[in-house]
Amino acid sequence: MIVSQPQTLPSPIDAFPNALQIFFPIEANDHTKIGLRFGDMGIIHFMLLQALEPKDNILALIKFIEVNIPVPLWYFMLFVSFGMYAARISVEKIKDTVADITRNLN
């Protein structure tokens, strides 16, 4: 007598990607950004984000390097890239504030 195994349905969680994809632009231009994308633990992608039209409605994300690194270094790179991203935003805000102040003085 052959006993068959009960069939189990696939988990809906398996349909989702394994990790949250985070892209931190390091060097930004008006239509081009170079940055790091963090995916699975231990994998860093160096990416190029390019606007395909002048209004930035359609974007292309191009991966040109994928690096497998140890997990502690992955965490270090994640925090450093977040710090660089936050510093760039802060510098842009300071530049805007200084420009407003100098414009009001004249």
57 part of a folded domain: yes
The pLDDT value recorded for residue 93 is 92
Name all contacts of 79-84 with Cβ < 8 Å and 24+ positions apart. Answer: 81/24, 81/26, 81/35, 81/36, 81/38, 82/24, 84/24, 84/26
56 part of a folded domain: yes
11 part of a folded domain: no
78 part of a folded domain: yes
Show the low-confidence residues of the chain (pLDDT under 50). Answer: none
Tally the domains of the chain: 1
Domain that holds residue 50: 19-105
The pLDDT value recorded for residue 48 is 87
Q: What order do you get walking across the sheet with 32-38 strand by strand?
A: 22-28, 32-38, 43-51, 59-68
The pLDDT value recorded for residue 5 is 66
Scanning the chain, the segments in alpha helix (DSSP H) are 71-105
Does the pTM of the predicted model rise above 0.75?
no
